[in-house]
Structure 1
Amino acid sequence: MTASAEARETALLAAQAAADKLATNVSIVDVSDRLAITDAFVLAAAPNERQVQSIVDEVEERLRRHGVKPVRREGVAEARWVLLDFVDVVVHVQHAEERAYYALERLWKDCPTIPFVDASAPPADRAAAGAGTLSADDVDPAGAGSVVLAPDPDGTGPDDLGAAADGASDEDLLDDDVVEGDPLLDGAGGEAGDAGTTGR
């Protein structure tokens, strides 16, 4: 059995309300197969108690506008881990420290998740969030479908990378491209004034 359509809609509304108040690590877990008392958990985190309270207020207000009211609220006074029980959906808004310590996702790792993508996120972030898993090409750049970048056509790239077009090997390119005193190589460092350019 999976979460009902109504529970999924409520969970997605709650998740978006939390995201709109800058909650982090927002996720939805379908616990309907494991629990008889609810269908889904919405999990969200915030870096401080004030923001936890702000997220809780926004979730309640947003769902109230859709005719859904919590039957139970816990942890509001401390605002470290607030639980809002909407019967079919239970919203957990945790301080980031509690989120890391209790790791509810790990506790319910055998349960499926309900995909949630923040509607206010930039399109590139939404596409990345929807991508889900890595392919072999993401892990192995030499895999099928990978793109080999062409050398700079006018030969003005660093150390004339046009040598790659002449059949130079990777080792030749590496030897040719070593900058004397490169601080990223053997830690020797370049000139005294160069340290600032590496950020170290």
Structure 2
Amino acid sequence: MTATEQAVALAHTAARAASDKLAENIVAFDVSDQLAITDVFVICSAPNDRQVRSIVEEVEDRLREAGAKPVRREGHRQGRWVLLDYTEVVVHVMHTEEREFYALERLWRDCPALALPADVTSGRGR
């Protein structure tokens, strides 16, 4: 089983939104073979709580424009690790320290990485 076209499109939209707000280390994984509850994880990070919230707001705005509504949103108040659940796609926007500590990439390394559009860049090195 692989991620649906809709899930991939939403992941690309989320990654572009994060990129536009200078998110760092943007990656996406097709987790559809491992999890029955979602198809794609998008993971990105930022060096401070304020930027985490800014990325989250942009992702939410862009996915809303694409017709997607989150079924769950956790961690926004703290701004350290915000999880946005859109059923087919789960977006993790993490503070750099949390990302290093929890190492989600290591946990999901057996899942195939999803290719992101060329216009998605990570961080300030544009």
TM-score scaled by length of structure 1: 0.59
Query: What letter is aligned with 2:109?
Result: K
Matches within 5 A, 1:38-77: 38-77=38-77
Q: Higher relative CO (CA 8 A, sep ≥ 6), structure 1 or 2?
A: 2
Bigger Cα Rg: 1
Tell me the SS of whatever aligns to 1:26. Answer: strand
Q: Runs ≥4 in structure 1, deviation > 6 angstroms?
A: none
Correspondence list, 1:6-85, <5 A: 6-85=6-85
Q: Is the 8 A contact 2:12 2:117 kept in 1?
A: no
> How many residues are treated as equivalent by the alignment?
123
Contact 1:19 1:118 in 2 (8 A): no
**Which is richer in helix?**
1
Distance change in 2, residues 1:54/1:30 (3 Å): same
Opposite residue 25 of structure 1, the aligned amino acid is: N
Counterpart secondary structure, 1:62 = helix
Instruction: Note the residue ranges of structure 2 that are not aligned, 5 or more in a row.
Output: none
Cα distance in 1 between the residues matched to 2:64 and 2:47: 25
Equivalence map 1:93-108=2 (5 Å): 93-108=93-108
Give the unaligned 5+ runs of structure 1: 127-200
Q: Taking structure 1 as reference, are residues 118 and 97 closer, same or farther at Cα in structure 2, changes over 3 Å only?
A: farther
CA distance 1:35–1:20, shift in 2 (3 Å): same
What SS does structure 2 have at the residue aligned with 1:90?
strand
What root-mean-square deviation, in Å, do the aligned CA atoms of Structure 1 and Structure 2 show?
Answer: 1.5
**1:144 match:** none
Distance 2:47 2:69 in 1: 26
Other-structure match for 1:183: none
Amino acid at match of 2:26: V
SS at match of 2:68: coil
> Going by fraction, where is strand more abundant, 1 or 2?
2
Shift of 1:120: 6.1
Contact 1:16/1:118 (CA < 8 Å) preserved in 2? Answer: no
Aligned-pair distance for 1:117?
4.0
* Aligned partner of residue 93 in structure 1, secondary structure: strand
Q: Which residue of 1 aligns with 2:91?
A: 91
Contact 1:24 1:45 in 2 (8 A): yes
| % identical aligned pairs | 60
Paired residue secondary structure (1:13):
helix
